[in-house]
Amino acid sequence: DTAVSQTPKYLVTQMGNDKSIKCEQNLGHDTMYWYKQDSKKFLKIMFSYNNKELIINETVPNRFSPKSPDKAHLNLHINSLELGDSAVYFCASSQGETGFQYFGPGTRLTVT
Amino acid sequence: GQQLNQSPQSMFIQEGEDVSMNCTSSSIFNTWLWYKQDPGEGPVLLIALYKAGELTSNGRLTAQFGITRKDSFLNISASIPSDVGIYFCAGQLRDGGSQGNLIFGKGTKLSVKP
């Protein structure tokens, strides 16, 4: 059974489009995250979210918004896509806000 | 913002060799973690360290939380081909809130010597 799953695995789209990436975890965790990994493999936190608090990294443009329909899901919506948004996006989850995080397989987003 | 300096950036290994990598920071961290990322996959946690001076092993992997709480190292003994990948250190300032977010090093890429 996959602990943290993401769809789609690959996403190719044009500038200006709006897209969503879905994330689901079946671990019963209460905290979920979105990370961006750039072409140099640098991993950076974008959001962390539990049922009490959404913490946004101040460098994330407001075109990015996380939406959580329930504890097991944290989807990432991106409006008006730009070339610089091309990257691999990872979802992760943990029980409590700990460093012991389980990562999904990633979604490679390519904006043309 | 906080930064982690991870070194080396890359290294080549021959099967059977021991490998060392480390991370340093200008900030004091509450927790140090080491993750490994295989191609096309997400990072997987290898070792978590919670106390200054702590030395923890996971099979052939050993990691230490520096006494000053500003550094950590990871050793891999008797490397095997499946050890190739990218190793990331990560630090957490404290549990919870924005300071609970992980800050990642830039990674150490392990490859096999040709």
Contact A48 B33 (CB under 8 A): no
Residue pLDDT tens, chain A, 112 long: 679 999 999 999 999 999 999 999 999 999 999 999 999 999 999 988 987 778 878 789 999 999 998 889 999 999 999 999 999 999 999 988 777 899 999 999 999 9
pLDDT of residue B113: 81
Could you tell me the pLDDT band of residue B17, with boundaries at 50, 70 and 90?
Answer: very high
* pLDDT (tens digit per residue) in B50-90: 999 999 999 999 999 999 999 999 999 999 999 999 999 99
* Own/partner long-range contacts of B76-80 (Cβ < 8 Å, ≥24 apart): B76/B18, B76/B19, B76/B20, B77/B18, B78/B16, B78/B17, B78/B18, B79/B13, B79/B14, B79/B15, B79/B16, B79/B17, B79/B18, B79/B19, B79/B110, B80/B15
Closest CA in chain B for residue A56: B98
Contact A97 B88 (CB under 8 A): no
Closest-CA distance of chain B to residue A97, Å: 5
Q: A41: which chain B residues are within 8 Å (Cβ-Cβ)?
A: 37, 86, 106-107, 109
pLDDT of residue B114: 72
Contact B48 A4 (CB under 8 A): no
Contact A99 B104 (CB under 8 A): no
Task: Give yes or no for a contact between A29 and A100, defined as CB atoms under 8 angstroms apart.
Answer: no
